[in-house]
Structure 1
């Protein structure tokens, strides 16, 4: 590496030109980096959502969920499956190993659906929804007018065209609007009398409305194409569709002298309009959207994986006026939630803290070197290294996000280290009176090996992070790469640009002419002795030399004291709080509201309105969007709820989110009619996982499961560091069960499935097809004239059979039973969860207390309770990073063995690593900061930093020993001369990171 510095000094103009080019390209790369909250990565999670209208949770579980889950569990790379069966809907969530692409996940699940589709009920409709953090909306907008019914179709048509053309937009969706459909109310008496049925109408629809090419002919004017059929594109055309009479209608039987004779006849052909009342009306509402309590429509925008969050969010906001113009009329538009400003603010705060850190680091250098020129030469390495890093990030497609920018902010203190060591040594040699070029080359030669080894060691520390799996690996891999790239850039700058700039900017020492080279060397040695004598009298040396002499004279006492410090260090570790991943600090949050089982959409709306009133009355709230009903979008694959009630809340800037949540929860508990309320992140859940401490209870049957969940919930009530306890065990609801008597039904010509379909048709609308109406694909439903509303009416339902109409009660037992609202299984076992909400202060203490309570709990035979959720995520991540730390130490050892060509010296260097924990643990304890993933990554970084100082020291000691000095003198002189650069690098790093650690702008701390 010394040759690189020698080459640079010989080609100073080339280095200057290359530096200008780097600065230009770095600035361009920085401007081109996309900005987002977190690094984009694919989550190997998805969900198979199967709708089966009219089916209960038990039917869904047996006929859909179990079959789908059984097929899915045969797929390679599968980590876990969880199925939830509820009325009308089955959700099978799957998670594959990280590294599996979304495309591969979709492909595997599509194959699983194809394999099992034939065994599912005919009415079941399965689809795959893949989850990624790019599927979480980056902006939500509420739109309302005096006539939302009229506004809906217009908004659905206009919003995608207005927002969809913005670069980086993935999709635009509209929810909360009412959809029109065609309803058919059948005249069943007329149908039965003429041998027709609902199936006759379905067949007529399937066989009509086609335009089929049938060849062509030629005449004098040219070729004429021939087509057969007429499209059905209006209600009038639909009414005119003819129903094919039954085969028996084409013959009639007459009595003759010879007996009954069957003769052909022309049957009466009925049209749909004659056997049914056809209307064009709004479908039943399945979702409700309200903004600040006022009914409205919601527009959500998602970005592509390569999209810039800030650019897309700002672009959408800029086009809101265009949306208003396109919609016209008295339209109100309100931005409910958007990530752009939060990302901008977060990046701006980190940038500010980074610049403050840069200023502090430069100030430290100035205080030690007491030279503006030397300080400027050293400081130039920071922006140059960062600009080179920006080029690397841009080339590899990385974004500017909280983690990569944090890596750059942290790197500010470290990238200057190599340059500090180089410039400090150059100054030392210049003070000896050596010619400038000779002094620079000598100084660089002395430290080039040490700083190269130190940089390689620090970079190597982060290699194991690339092997860490799960969410931690995905999040911190870009962080590690960015930091490593910045360090490599700083090494390159310190060996190329810094020597050249030092040659131009630093003062040339006064040169004297000597007759012989020996006289010149003698003069240099005399000057060196004078300068070293001055250095020994400096404040630093006067304070340090007595300490180093004392430790050398009393090695046993020094080692014992060191050992005691290590014991105290690891004793402190037990007093530390622990956490997983801290809060993002966003001013938006989602309140999930769960109402009692069996609640209708109207009941849910009333309960939601009560909570809305509390939320909107709070002065800290800026805006809230309430969504009632099922969403079933791609966020379901990330573990978010597929239905129920959600309140998306944005607070005014500067308001306390935790205080707001506490107030809302207290108010909700005071009114049981609101149901249960819990909060989750507005940015897409907890990275695809749980934010609560979950205890998964598994049992063989529902009764044992209920017993187990009740026991676990009671045992964990009031656990350390928790605010509330909830369970996922669904309540039971009263349901009318129709149990078909297969023999009686078969005697009437009906199968069990056929009778089920008839009952469903008599009780609820059924989709029988669709037509293109006004360029919109419109569904056609057969709607019962007067659905039964009591148990007696259901028993008396008139069921058409080959022998005529009979009462339902004659073919089946109709009774009221209690069944679960939903059924959850995990890996095929019946499960439920007990969920503890941590207070965010000490997750480790919560986990320990929960484990103690579970160990004392006696559960019934066949019932198990397993700790999961955020506690399991924390344990797995800590374990992975612990292994990464051990691997990093091993890699550091290998690099040092290669550098020093010795095993003994690297072992000596490794002694410095445990002492890094001393300062770290004390700082965490004093500041009452939890040991979380970020802190562990910091510990990993410390391994590289402490070894760097040790390498720089040992390398100089080795040089003195090679010059013939004794071991004692080599240690004393090496320690004395490396004191200043080690202090400079340590203090520069500490002060560069202090704004981020303190959180001067509010983002750190």
Structure 2
């Protein structure tokens, strides 16, 4: 890291140029990034929808849904299968794992459906499609003002749709609510009978025509020519002029039937503000920019209105762009306010405009680099990435604060700019790198969080990590360069008088004049080789006593000689010079507390334990949720109509609700969708989309509407499904079993049990009320005697009631159904008297739908439909014989469910509970307890899902991510401090961060949700940062031989200001977000800000008090152990010395005795007292050298020499 700073200082102009380029590209990237509410999510769902016209829900369940469920369950990636069987249609919902490729899933499901196709009824064609947030329309427009919906739809297709599709980024524009046309063939049964034809024979003839068939290739004279037989039917006239085999001669279809293109029976209702309307759904491409597309649509609407017929009006009932723009504006506003607050905090602490500007530059520069990185990575600007940027504003300035504070302190000690800056960066580079890596590392576990939480918050984690990395890079490169340019070399430690400031200005002018004069004189003198010139001149100025170049920061030669710590003799003295610095006024507010806490560590620990116990006590009081309300300004109301209601009756019931909406001024417009155009709805349910005016209180309006809905009669069941477009916090209780009656009983009992709970706002079930149904129970034996089967009889009945779809035809590039009608049945009596031709054969093997597996695409599409192409038309049938339906079947009235739902292959009922208030956890516990007390019938199981299951899974995964983040942080700290024990001291800050987070959440009534959990994850890295820079400086003093408590007090004193600055800057940068002062678009990031603010407050206080105390206790134990080891070693050495001396004495005595030499004996006698004297001296030194030996041992362990021999801190100062 020092090398990075050194290179930057030596290439200052290049660094400045790179910074300017980065700012420019960052601004370009910000302007070009696509803007959306949330990141594009590939939902882990796919849908298989199948039409089975005329079939009851039970028939659909048995013949369509169950075979599909069995096939789809065999797909490996499928985790859950559920389904809904309705009259005439089936929908199977397949849930897969998050992160699975939607295209691959669709392919696998299509293969499974193809394998199940032979088991499905003829005419049923399943369709497979996946779900994604990109499939949600970015805007929905309604068009009113025309009495002719058909003409209006055609006009929209000709004028509006092509224009809107030309907008860059638009994938499709769908017109819904328009009347559908079909080719209707009304057979005259009398004329058919006169010509010896039957409706079945007529259907067969129609299916055998209009199908071009490839007959092969004709090779003539070396040339190959493809041969095609037959031609498509492309008009009503061509169909009407089809030749049929008559009794005497061929007859035309128009002679025995009425053929016309007419409006089909309506299957849907679309109204805006109570008036019939058509809807336009605008869909974007995956890379489309929602805001730009919305703006372009808004610009085109006035032009389209001018080109449309008179009185045609366009209404916007849904548009994602305004809320996205509002959210982005709010987040930008909070960020600007946060930046201003952070800069003011820095200014208050540094009391230097220059230092504040240098530090503040790191904020926009880091953010722009982050935005550039996101743009290059293909990410969008959405609420989560913007929230990460806003949260990072306070944190990205931390590294720069520490660097600039160290540089200013070094400047005060004197020396050249280069050496002082390098020395300052060298001092703090390791600490800020470790702290930044620690904060970045806590986001690593987010990569492995699965489910919706991982998909949503992964971009958040990436954005925050890039911002932190950018801030470290800026702090180590750009901040030193700016400090070199703009910081004064030395600041006065005392307040200068006005006269002194005037003297400085006057002397500066005089020095500059003299310097210019010397430069001018130097240019006139001949330049000798090797002599310094220009800006490297060494002429001295009278005041500073050195060259102007040296005063400005040194020449290239001087700077090259600088070292990381100053490159001067006595640099170790400089390292400890801060110990003798005077105590500032700010430090005086802290020193008494740190002195008292280190003097009474046990009392401090007791207080800390009590605080921790209080935290544990607060946890059960905390509310929980899954996701907060996003604050969008629209409501969605679901209406379930009374059982058995026709489409017209459903529209009348919906009108009752629309009258309620008219009473509220807060509702700007409302749109109704019933039927197949309501994004998956049917005639039994409708959707009201309410577009609210800005500033409307969604909760208050919802409460008023619920009160009004309770007083309505004949409007079915009403549910406010979405408040403000937020993600659902509804609790789902799924009751499964094979017995329908038991399911109904159990689900009703559970609903009744939870309905009166205080924690519950509303309860709904998807148990559909039964509807009256006529079942034709065919006597198979009697039918067989007449040559009939169930499929043939069903086909005749369908043809007489609703018509039989026998194919499709393309007319004027539009596809239309071809429907054959024969007979008119409108009463039960007419149904029972319906004549069934006993000689009839099922046309083409058609089933109940009458279309046949092959008949769907005949007459207009080349798919080999109907009879074999080219086969001769059937001969005229003999005079048909008939039998009444009542003779072979019974028509019974019965009650059947309107929908049959399955979960994992079993019938199920879902009870949906909307919690009251914002405490999902309390509501879930209450609901589970109440449901557990219900005595459910045997064979019925109860499972909890919805927000309850999602919350449990999300909290579990985030809890594991939190533990992983702590472990990663610990590994980084061990690598930084090369110790296993000191990192444990730093990790103590983490639980105390939870103290402030939980306390502030309780104080502000903010539930703990997923955004809050992400805030707690961030805190793991943030709160350790301050402890790292504190412990790093204390270790620095200890390595230079400073006494333990002195090092702690002075280290904490000197780090007090940067710790307060970084914490205060982060806190005040988040205050606007926590207060939401710019608007309501901040609701999703507000809990995150509150958690981080509370955690920073508590952890900062405890870092400044508790961490030094724990360090003192740990190091005291280590010192005592070291001292005991040193004393033991010295004592052992003393005994060994005595033993060796005694042995030497004996050897000398023996030698003397052997030689008899007096001289030798005298020498030995003299040596013994000397040895003993040395031993005695060693014994005396043991007690005096214990602490010195401990310090020497520690110095050996760390690999650094002691500096207390060169200079000690002197007597311990009393910090006051």
- Report the counterpart of residue 696 of structure 1 in structure 2: 734
Over 3 Å counting, the alpha-carbon distance change for 1:474 and 1:832 in structure 2 is same
Query: Among 686, 689, 692, which residue is 1:651 paired with?
Result: 692
**Contact 2:576/2:1037 (CA < 8 Å) preserved in 1?**
no
Q: Is the 8 A contact 2:69 2:81 kept in 1?
A: yes
The residue correspondences of 1:527-566 to structure 2 (distance < 5 A) are: 535-536=582-583, 538-566=584-612
In structure 2, C-alpha distance between the alignment counterparts of 1:745 and 1:631, rounded to whole Å: 40
Look up the match of 1:261. Answer: none
Alignment partner, residue 263 of structure 1 = none
Residue of structure 2 in register with 1:94 after alignment: 94
The Cα of 1:769 is off from its aligned counterpart by 1.7
Structure 2 Cα separation of the partners of residues 720 and 547 of structure 1: 48
The aligned residue for residue 584 of structure 1 is 630
Partner of 2:465: 484
2:34 is paired with a residue whose SS is coil
1:805 Cα deviation from its structure 2 partner: 0.8
Q: CA deviation at 1:738?
A: 0.9
Report what 2:415 is aligned to.
434
- Aligned counterpart, 1:888: 965
Of 818-827 and 981-990, deviating more is: 818-827
- Counterpart Cα distance in 1 of 2:566 and 2:370: 47
Instruction: Give SS of 2:1029's match.
Output: helix
**2:786 is the alignment partner of 1:740:** no
The answer to whether the 8 A contact 1:720-1:845 is kept is: no
1:945 is aligned to 2:1022: yes
Are the structure 2 counterparts of residues 513 and 901 from structure 1 closer, same or farther at C-alpha, using a change threshold of 3 Å?
Answer: farther
Name the residue aligned to 1:9: 9
Unaligned 5+ residue runs, structure 1?
Answer: 250-266
Structure 1 residue 853 corresponds to structure 2 residue 930: yes
Alignment map for 1:639-718 (pairs within 5 Å): 644-681=685-722, 686=727, 690-718=728-756
Q: Which stretch of structure 1 is more off in the superposition, 730-739 or 475-484?
A: 730-739
Which runs of structure 2 are paired with 1:924-935 in the superposition (5 Å)?
924-935=1001-1012
Question: Is the contact between residue 698 and residue 830 of structure 1 (CA under 8 Å) also seen in structure 2?
Answer: yes
Q: Shift in Å at residue 958 of structure 1?
A: 1.4
| Alpha-carbon distance between aligned partners in 1 of 2:678 and 2:883, rounded to the nearest angstrom | 40
Q: Given that residues 289 and 625 in structure 1 are in contact (C-alpha distance below 8 angstroms), is that contact kept between their aligned partners in structure 2?
A: yes
Q: Select between 454-463 and 236-245 the one with higher mean Cα deviation.
A: 236-245
Q: 1:941 to 1:224 in 2, by over 3 A?
A: closer
Q: Distance in 2 between matches of 1:731 and 1:779?
A: 32
Gap change, CA 1:621 and 1:582, over 3 Å in 2: same
1:730-769 alignment, distance < 5 Å: 730-769=768-807
Q: In the alignment, does 2:937 pair up with 1:899?
A: no
Partner residue in 2 for 1:777: 815
CA contact (8 A) 2:729 2:920 kept: no
- Listed one character per residue, the Cα deviations across residues 438-458 of structure 1 (whole Å, up to 9, x for unaligned) are 111111001000000101110
User: Paired residue for 1:794?
Assistant: 831
1:933–1:714 distance in 2 versus 1, CA, 3 Å: same
Which residue pairs with 1:130 in the alignment? Answer: 130
Deviations 1:228-263 (A, max 9, x none): 656533322211101246xxx6xxxxxxxxxxxxxx
Superposition deviation, residue 217 in structure 1: 12
Map of 2:58 onto structure 1 = 58
Q: In 1, are the aligned partners of 2:635 and 2:725 still within 8 Å (CA)?
A: no
What is the distance in 2 between the residues matched to 1:822 and 1:225? 51
Give the drift of 1:206.
3.3
In the TM superposition, residue 514 of structure 1 has moved relative to its aligned partner by 10
Structure 2 contact 758–916 (Cα < 8 Å) conserved:
no
Residue 1141 of structure 2 aligns with which residue?
none
- The answer to whether the aligner puts 1:910 opposite 2:987 as a matched pair is yes
| 1:680–1:691 CA contact under 8 A, matched in 2 | no
Shift in Å at residue 74 of structure 1? 0.7
Q: How far apart are the structure 1 equivalents of 2:834 and 2:6?
A: 98
Q: Is the 8 A contact 2:763 2:914 kept in 1?
A: yes
CA offsets 1:180-215 (integer angstroms, 9 cap, x no match): 212111122333454423333333333333567999
Measured in 2, the distance between the counterparts of 1:557 and 1:519 equals 42
Equivalent residue, structure 1, for 2:175? 174
Task: Describe how 1:302-317 pairs up with structure 2 within 5 A.
Answer: 302-317=283-298
- Residues 487, 230 of structure 1: CA spacing in aligned structure 2 closer, same or farther, 3 A cutoff? closer
Query: Could you tell me whether the CA contact under 8 Å between 1:632 and 1:643 is conserved in 2?
Result: no
Q: CA deviation at 1:882?
A: 0.8
How many matched pairs? Answer: 972
Query: Which runs of structure 2 are paired with 1:244-283 in the superposition (5 Å)?
Result: 244=245, 267-283=248-264
Structure 2 residue 147 is matched with structure 1 residue 146: yes
What SS does the aligned partner of 1:564 have?
helix
SS in 2 for 1:562: helix
- Which sits farther off after the overlay, 618-627 or 141-150? 141-150
Name stretches of at least 5 consecutive residues in structure 2 with no aligned partner: 492-542, 548-561, 840-879, 1087-1216
Q: 1:981 aligns with which of 1055, 1058, 1061?
A: 1058
1:943 deviates by: 0.8
Residue 239 (structure 2) aligns with:
238
Contact 1:181–1:281 under 8 Å retained in 2: yes
Aligned to 1:80: 80
Q: Determine the structure 2 residue equivalent to 1:256.
A: none
Matched, 1:360 2:341: yes
Q: What is the alpha-carbon distance in structure 1 between the residues aligned to residue 1065 and residue 286 of structure 2?
A: 37
Question: Aligned to 1:389, which of 367, 370, 374?
Answer: 370
Farther off after superposition, 229-238 or 545-554: 229-238
CA contact (8 A) 1:961 1:970 kept: yes
Q: 1:646-670: CA deviations, max 9, x gaps?
A: 1111011111122222222221211
CA change 1:835–1:146 in 2 (3 A) is same
The one-character-per-residue Cα deviations of 1:80-135 (angstroms, maximum 9, x if unpaired) are 11111111111111110001122112112211211111110112221113211111
Question: Which residue does the alignment assign to 2:616?
Answer: 570
SS of the residue corresponding to residue 668 of structure 1 reads helix
Q: How does 1:820-831 map to 2 (within 5 A)?
A: 820-831=897-908
2:452 to 471, 475, 485: 471
Q: Deviations along 1:785-804, whole A, 9 cap, x unmatched?
A: 42232x22221111111271
Contact in 2 for aligned 1:141/1:334 (Cα 8 Å) = yes
- Structure-2-length-normalised TM-score: 0.77
Taking the aligned partners of 2:379 and 2:207, their CA distance within structure 1 comes to 52
- SS of 2:662's partner is helix
Assess if the C-alpha contact under 8 Å between 1:704 and 1:863 holds in 2.
yes
> Is structure 2 residue 954 aligned with structure 1 residue 877?
yes
3-state SS in 1 of match to 2:756: coil
**1:260 — aligned with what?**
none
Would the aligned equivalents of 2:53 and 2:89 in 1 still touch at CA under 8 Å?
yes
In structure 1, C-alpha distance between the alignment counterparts of 2:948 and 2:723, rounded to whole Å: 21
1:691 to partner: Cα distance = 3.8
Residue 475 (structure 2) aligned to one of 482, 485, 494: 494
Change (3 A) 1:605 1:632: closer
Indicate if the aligned counterparts of 1:5 and 1:496 stay in contact, CA closer than 8 A.
yes
Larger Rg, first or second structure (1 or 2): 2
- Structure 1 match to 2:1136: none
Q: Does 2:1039 align with 1:962?
A: yes
Q: Secondary structure at the match of 1:782?
A: strand
Contact map agreement 1:211 1:228 (CA 8 A) in 2:
yes
- TM-score, normalization: structure 1? 0.93
Separation of aligned partners in 2, 1:189 and 1:112 = 47
What SS does structure 1 have at the residue aligned with 2:347?
A: helix
Distance in 2, Cα, partners of 1:101 & 1:12: 48
> How far did residue 927 of structure 1 move?
0.8
Please say if 1:21 is aligned against 2:25. Answer: no
Aligned position for 1:30:
30
Residues 683, 13 of structure 1: CA spacing in aligned structure 2 closer, same or farther, 3 A cutoff? same
Report the aligned-residue RMSD: 2.6
Contact 1:433 1:527 survives alignment (8 Å) = no
User: Are the aligned partners of 2:631 and 2:726 in contact in 1 as well (CA < 8 Å)?
Assistant: no
Change (3 A) 1:715 1:187: same
